[in-house]
Amino acid sequence: MDLALAEQLAVQQTLARYAFALDHGDLVALKSLLTEDSTMTVTIAGDVEQGPFTGRAAVLDLVRKATQAQTDQRKHNLTNMVIRSADAGTAEVWAYLTLTSNAGGSATVIATGFYAITLQRAQSEWLIAKVLVGLDNAM
Protein backbone atom coordinates (compact mmCIF):
# COMPACT_ATOMS: atom_id res chain seq x y z
CA MET A 1 0.00 0.00 0.00
CA ASP A 2 1.35 3.43 -0.89
CA LEU A 3 1.09 6.18 1.68
CA ALA A 4 -0.81 9.32 0.81
CA LEU A 5 1.38 12.37 0.28
CA ALA A 6 0.34 13.86 3.65
CA GLU A 7 1.36 10.63 5.42
CA GLN A 8 4.70 10.57 3.58
CA LEU A 9 5.36 14.10 4.78
CA ALA A 10 4.37 13.15 8.34
CA VAL A 11 6.87 10.25 8.26
CA GLN A 12 9.63 12.54 6.98
CA GLN A 13 8.80 15.15 9.63
CA THR A 14 9.13 12.51 12.36
CA LEU A 15 12.61 11.65 11.07
CA ALA A 16 13.61 15.32 10.83
CA ARG A 17 12.45 15.86 14.42
CA TYR A 18 14.45 12.77 15.43
CA ALA A 19 17.63 14.20 13.88
CA PHE A 20 17.10 17.59 15.55
CA ALA A 21 16.50 15.90 18.93
CA LEU A 22 19.77 13.97 18.55
CA ASP A 23 21.68 17.09 17.51
CA HIS A 24 20.49 19.08 20.50
CA GLY A 25 20.48 16.31 23.09
CA ASP A 26 16.75 16.94 23.54
CA LEU A 27 15.72 13.76 25.32
CA VAL A 28 12.19 15.06 25.98
CA ALA A 29 11.60 15.53 22.26
CA LEU A 30 13.27 12.21 21.47
CA LYS A 31 11.10 10.40 24.02
CA SER A 32 7.98 11.76 22.32
CA LEU A 33 9.13 10.23 19.00
CA LEU A 34 9.81 6.67 20.22
CA THR A 35 7.44 3.80 20.90
CA GLU A 36 7.64 2.34 24.40
CA ASP A 37 9.23 -0.84 23.00
CA SER A 38 11.52 0.86 20.49
CA THR A 39 14.90 -0.69 19.66
CA MET A 40 18.19 0.67 18.35
CA THR A 41 21.12 -1.21 16.87
CA VAL A 42 24.36 0.30 15.59
CA THR A 43 26.80 -1.41 13.24
CA ILE A 44 30.21 -0.06 12.29
CA ALA A 45 31.67 -0.92 8.89
CA GLY A 46 29.31 -3.90 8.68
CA ASP A 47 31.15 -5.61 11.52
CA VAL A 48 31.05 -4.25 15.07
CA GLU A 49 27.55 -4.28 16.50
CA GLN A 50 26.24 -2.36 19.46
CA GLY A 51 22.84 -3.40 20.73
CA PRO A 52 20.11 -3.95 20.23
CA PHE A 53 19.14 -1.49 22.90
CA THR A 54 15.58 -2.50 23.72
CA GLY A 55 12.91 -0.22 25.12
CA ARG A 56 12.51 3.54 25.07
CA ALA A 57 14.43 3.94 28.35
CA ALA A 58 17.44 2.00 27.00
CA VAL A 59 17.51 4.02 23.77
CA LEU A 60 17.28 7.30 25.68
CA ASP A 61 20.06 6.17 28.03
CA LEU A 62 22.30 5.36 25.03
CA VAL A 63 21.67 8.79 23.51
CA ARG A 64 22.15 10.52 26.88
CA LYS A 65 25.56 8.87 27.39
CA ALA A 66 26.67 9.58 23.82
CA THR A 67 25.59 13.22 24.02
CA GLN A 68 27.30 13.80 27.37
CA ALA A 69 30.58 12.43 25.97
CA GLN A 70 30.58 14.81 23.00
CA THR A 71 32.53 18.06 23.13
CA ASP A 72 31.48 19.20 19.66
CA GLN A 73 28.24 20.19 17.94
CA ARG A 74 27.02 17.37 15.71
CA LYS A 75 24.48 17.41 12.92
CA HIS A 76 22.71 14.29 11.66
CA ASN A 77 21.99 15.00 8.00
CA LEU A 78 19.48 12.51 6.62
CA THR A 79 19.20 12.45 2.84
CA ASN A 80 17.77 10.28 0.06
CA MET A 81 14.87 9.16 2.25
CA VAL A 82 12.98 6.31 0.65
CA ILE A 83 9.82 4.75 2.04
CA ARG A 84 10.61 1.10 1.27
CA SER A 85 7.28 -0.30 2.41
CA ALA A 86 4.19 0.99 4.12
CA ASP A 87 0.67 0.20 5.14
CA ALA A 88 -1.85 2.02 7.31
CA GLY A 89 0.07 1.16 10.50
CA THR A 90 3.76 0.84 9.66
CA ALA A 91 6.37 2.35 7.39
CA GLU A 92 9.95 1.31 6.70
CA VAL A 93 12.28 4.10 5.67
CA TRP A 94 15.85 4.01 4.43
CA ALA A 95 18.02 7.13 4.45
CA TYR A 96 21.65 8.06 4.08
CA LEU A 97 23.46 9.64 7.03
CA THR A 98 26.18 12.26 6.85
CA LEU A 99 27.27 13.10 10.38
CA THR A 100 29.11 16.39 10.68
CA SER A 101 30.93 18.00 13.58
CA ASN A 102 31.75 21.61 14.25
CA ALA A 103 34.72 21.57 16.58
CA GLY A 104 37.05 24.52 16.85
CA GLY A 105 35.06 26.54 14.32
CA SER A 106 35.60 24.08 11.50
CA ALA A 107 32.93 21.77 10.11
CA THR A 108 34.01 18.27 9.11
CA VAL A 109 32.36 15.00 8.15
CA ILE A 110 33.04 12.49 10.92
CA ALA A 111 30.93 9.59 9.67
CA THR A 112 28.74 8.44 6.83
CA GLY A 113 26.29 5.60 6.76
CA PHE A 114 22.63 4.72 6.55
CA TYR A 115 19.51 4.41 8.63
CA ALA A 116 16.83 1.72 8.33
CA ILE A 117 13.93 2.91 10.45
CA THR A 118 10.57 1.30 11.10
CA LEU A 119 7.79 3.61 12.20
CA GLN A 120 4.37 2.78 13.63
CA ARG A 121 1.22 4.82 13.33
CA ALA A 122 -0.02 5.79 16.80
CA GLN A 123 -3.27 7.71 16.77
CA SER A 124 -2.49 10.86 14.78
CA GLU A 125 1.30 10.58 14.50
CA TRP A 126 4.13 8.33 13.39
CA LEU A 127 6.48 7.00 16.08
CA ILE A 128 9.85 5.32 15.67
CA ALA A 129 9.76 1.63 16.62
CA LYS A 130 13.06 0.30 15.31
CA VAL A 131 16.32 1.99 14.32
CA LEU A 132 19.29 0.37 12.61
CA VAL A 133 22.23 2.73 12.13
CA GLY A 134 24.94 1.43 9.83
CA LEU A 135 28.09 3.54 10.08
CA ASP A 136 30.67 3.24 7.31
CA ASN A 137 33.48 4.13 9.72
CA ALA A 138 34.19 4.44 13.44
CA MET A 139 33.94 7.94 14.86
Q: Which pLDDT tens digit goes with each residue over 122-133?
A: 988 999 999 999
Residue 85 corresponds to which amino acid? Answer: S
Give the pLDDT confidence score for residue 110 in this predicted structure: 92
Predicted confidence at residue 124, as pLDDT, reads: 87
State the virtual CA torsion across 41, 45, 49, 51 in degrees, nearest 10: -20
Contact 62, 69 (CB under 8 A): no
Give pLDDT, residue 131. 97
Say if residues 40 and 64 touch (Cβ distance below 8 Å): no
Positions in the chain short of pLDDT 50: none
What's the pLDDT at 1? 59
Question: Can you give the pLDDT at residue 82?
Answer: 95
pLDDT at residue 103, as a whole number: 82
CB atoms within 10 A of CB 9: 11
pTM score? 0.92
* CA 104 – CA 74 distance, rounded (Å): 12
Listed residue (16, 27, 5) closest to 117, CA to CA: 16
Asked whether 101 and 72 are in contact (CB, 8 A), the reply is: yes
d(CA 130, CA 17): 16
